[in-house]
Every structure is written in C-alpha cells, then in structure tokens.
C-alpha cells in the first residue's frame, strides 16, 4: 500500500531549500502530497508573495518528486487532508519544530533540517535592491561617472 507523506508551504520564489525538503520528504514514503498556501490565506497571515498562487501551485505540481499539489486555504484543514488522503507522515522543515505535534494522534509527525542560508524572505530582500528607486540612483551615479570619464578623453 502507498505510504502517503504530506507537507504544506508557500513556496514563493521556489528555491533549493524547497527542493531539498520535498525530496527528503518523498524519500520517507511513496506518494508526496503538498499543500500550497493560497494568496488569500497568506494575506490573512500578513504575508505577500512575489509569485501568485496559481503559478506557485503549478511549479510545485511539476516538481518531479511531488505527486499532487493542493491549495492550502486555512490552518484547520490538516486533519481533513490527513483523513481524506490516508496520510502516514506529516512533515515540515524544523523551523516549525513542535508546532504540529497535536497531529501525532492521527499520523507520524516529522521535522526535517532546513537547508542553510536560503529563504524566500532573503531572496525578496536581495530583489528589493533592484527596485526602481535604486535603479534610478544607479543610473544617476553612472551618468556622473561617465561625465568624469569623458573629461579624461
């Protein structure tokens, strides 16, 4: 019988930490089910993504080790999903350690080590350096530099 593994996440700006986690989770069983947080659910947590829900869902659904990606619309859906999909293992990265221990009465709960030095938040910070204000400042500085360089021609 298939051993079903379940996880949830936002998976914004899909990165190597996400891939490592999904592959490690898949290795624990035969079938990997992934709940992807909707934009509305994220908004209720005060979280805004760069990539919209429909695209994040498609990206996760098309990762080789993922068997099925479903929307995650609210905190309370976990027990229903575990029952509906006959889940054996619920797993998350260890930034969530202990947070879902209450589910141990219906399946095994595991927290796997996160991949170091990468997160959607840090990538967003990097991208913000490229916002319009910074680009305008860079253009202005380049203009000044080229004027100075021209003087030496």
Distance CA 91, CA 75 (A): 15
Q: Choose among 27, 25, 29: nearest CA to 9.
A: 25
Point out the catalytic residue in the list 45, 84, 99, 125. Answer: 45
Q: Is 45 a catalytic residue?
A: yes
30 sits near ligand CTP (criterion: CB under 6 A)? no
Comparison of 21 and 63: residue with beta carbon closer to ligand CTP: 21
Comparison of 127 and 135: residue with beta carbon closer to ligand CTP: 127
Q: Note the helical H segments in 45-97.
A: 53-61, 78-84
Q: Choose among 149, 112, 119, 108: nearest CA to 49.
A: 119
Q: Which two tokens stand for residue 82?
A: 């575990």
> Which of positions 113-132 make contact with ligand CTP (CB under 6 A)?
114-115, 118-121
- 103 with 81: CB under 8 angstroms? no
93 sits near ligand CTP (criterion: CB under 6 A)? yes
Q: Which of 4, 5, 6, 18 binds ligand CTP (CB under 6 A)?
A: 18
Q: Which two tokens stand for residue 79?
A: 């027990």
71 sits near ligand CTP (criterion: CB under 6 A)? no
* Distances from the Cα of 63 to the Cα of 14, 82, 110, 144, angstroms: 10, 21, 21, 47
Q: Which of 6, 21, 32, 34 binds ligand CTP (CB under 6 A)?
A: 21
Q: Which of 6, 10, 70, 90 binds ligand CTP (CB under 6 A)?
A: 10
Q: Is 124 a catalytic residue?
A: no
38 sits near ligand CTP (criterion: CB under 6 A)? no
Any idea which residue has 């479903």 for tokens? 70
Binding site for ligand CTP (CB under 6 A): 9-11, 17-18, 21, 92-93, 95, 114-115, 118-121
């Amino acid at each position: 019988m298939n051993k079903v593994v379940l996880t949830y996440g936002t998976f914004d700006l899909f990165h190597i930490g996400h891939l490592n986690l999904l592959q490690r989770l898949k290795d624990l069983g035969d079938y990997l089910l992934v709940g992807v947080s909707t934009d509305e659910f994220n908004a209720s947590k005060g979280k805004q993504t760069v990539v919209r829900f429909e695209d994040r869902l498609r990206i996760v659904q098309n990762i080789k080790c993922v068997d099925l990606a479903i929307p995650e619309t609210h905190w309370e859906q976990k027990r229903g999903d575990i029952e509906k999909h006959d889940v054996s293992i619920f797993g998350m990265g260890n930034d969530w350690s202990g947070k879902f221990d209450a589910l141990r009465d219906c399946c095994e709960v595991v927290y796997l080590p996160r991949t170091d030095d990468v997160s959607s938040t840090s990538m967003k910070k990097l991208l913000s350096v490229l916002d319009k204000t910074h680009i305008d400042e860079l253009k202005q500085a380049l203009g000044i530099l080229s004027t100075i360089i021209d003087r030496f021609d």
